[in-house]
Amino acid sequence: MISENQENSNKLRIAGIVEESFVDGPGIRFAVFVQGCPHRCERCHNPETHDFGGGREVDTDELFEQCLANPLINGVTFSGGEPFCQAAALYKLGCRFKESGLNLMCYSGWTFEELLEKSISEEDVKNLLSILDHLVDGRFELSQRSLQLKFRGSSNQRIIDVQRSLSENKAVTVEL
């Protein structure tokens, strides 16, 4: 399942939020954990987010207002679950965050290359990629788990500068 073209892209199914996160990207971030994930990585950090029917539905306006109520927030992170399974709603919400001057980071079990391939036929994936600043890509691999990595759980995962990567049509990694 990927990027359902939701009838109402003002609704998002989430597992929860962290209003002030210091571990889901640089700075003080508003982290949105979406509900539903097809990857089901062994020893996933958020296994409660796997069930597509779990969590709760929220209005994206509510999330936007909640985030902007805190003047200390300098970025937003979409995590999960798999954010690209709700790409339409996250794109719409993400555009509002970008217009407000916040940077966007996203986690995905798909690699940048896989998402790029999907973006050819799935407009919602292409749109969401187009507004991201950074992407942590790839499935969590237990055999490559490391507690020494910043903002990642396993060494196969990369932090991608999305705008440079889209411009160069190849993954450009960065350290944050």
CATH of the domain at 76: 3.20.20.70
Residue range(s) defining the domain that contains residue 56: 11-168
Residue 67 within any structural domain of the chain: yes
Residue 3 within any structural domain of the chain: no
Residue 6 within any structural domain of the chain: no
Number of domains in the chain: 1
* Mean pLDDT of the 148-169 span: 95
C-beta pairs of 89-93 under 8 Å, 24+ apart in sequence: 89/6, 89/9, 89/10, 89/11, 89/12, 89/60, 90/12, 90/32, 90/34, 90/128, 91/9, 91/124, 91/127, 91/128, 91/131, 92/9, 92/10, 92/60, 93/12, 93/60, 93/63, 93/64
User: CA-CA distance, 40 to 65, in Å (whole number)?
Assistant: 31
Residue 78 within any structural domain of the chain: yes
Q: Does position 120 have pLDDT exceeding 90, yes or no?
A: no
What's residue 7's pLDDT? 52
Structure-model confidence comparison of residues 2 and 95, the more confident one: 95
Mean pLDDT of the chain: 93
Residue 153 within any structural domain of the chain: yes
Give the percent of the chain with pLDDT over 90. Answer: 84
Q: Does position 3 have pLDDT exceeding 70, yes or no?
A: no
- Predicted TM-score (pTM) of this structure: 0.93
What's residue 46's pLDDT? 86
Residue 175 within any structural domain of the chain: no
- Residue range 15-55, pLDDT digits in tens: 999 999 999 999 999 999 999 999 988 888 888 889 999 99
Q: What confidence category does residue 143 fall into, taking pLDDT thresholds of 50, 70 and 90?
A: very high
Residue 96 within any structural domain of the chain: yes
Q: Does position 8 have pLDDT exceeding 90, yes or no?
A: no
Taking the mean position of all CA atoms in its chain, how far away is CA 18? Answer: 13
Before 55, cis peptide (omega within 30)?
no
Q: Does position 1 have pLDDT exceeding 60, yes or no?
A: no
Q: What is the side-by-side order of every strand in the sheet holding 75-79?
A: 56-59, 11-21, 29-34, 75-79, 103-108, 134-137, 158-161
* Cβ(36)–Cβ(13) below 8 Å: yes
Residue 5 within any structural domain of the chain: no
